Amino acid sequence: GQQVMQIPQYQHVQEGEDFTTYCNSSTTLSNIQWYKQRPGGHPVFLIQLVKSGEVKKQKRLTFQFGEAKKNSSLHITATQTTDVGTYFCAGPWSGGYNKLIFGAGTRLAVHP
């Protein structure tokens, strides 16, 4: 069945270092969404990418959608302690039903 995989599972960085998480789908996606979940919190929408090769920036966050629309990445420049949390990517299920399939997430820890 369709899979959305994220690497790494965990990343520990020193404050000020950069961070990147990768998302790979077994099928071509019409779009990809990214969510952030703070410890003890709920997922919060960050962004949606739709076009092949699309790059979007939100302050220190840069999101990319691959040319083949099967992979995506989130890069954080100069991490801060407020970046702590788990980052999930999600893509539409190829079987229809307007269903989103979430990856397992990348947990980011930032040490001051």
Partner 1 sequence: EAGVVQSPRYKIIEKKQPVAFWCNPISGHNTLYWYLQNLGQGPELLIRYENEEAVDDSQLPKDRFSAERLKGVDSTLKIQPAELGDSAVYLCASSPGTSVHGELFFGEGSRLTVL
Least distance (Å) between residue 39 CB and partner 1 = 12
- The letter for the amino acid at 38 is R
**Which of 5/78 has CB closer to partner 1?**
5
SS3 101: strand
Least distance (Å) between residue 100 CB and partner 1 = 6
**Which of 90/110 has CB closer to partner 1?**
90
Quote the CA–CA distance of 33 and 17 in Å, as a whole number: 24
Q: Which residues bind partner 1 (CB under 8 A)?
A: 4, 30-31, 33, 35, 41-45, 48, 50, 88, 90, 92-93, 97-100, 102-105, 107
Quote the CA–CA distance of 43 and 53 in Å, as a whole number: 25
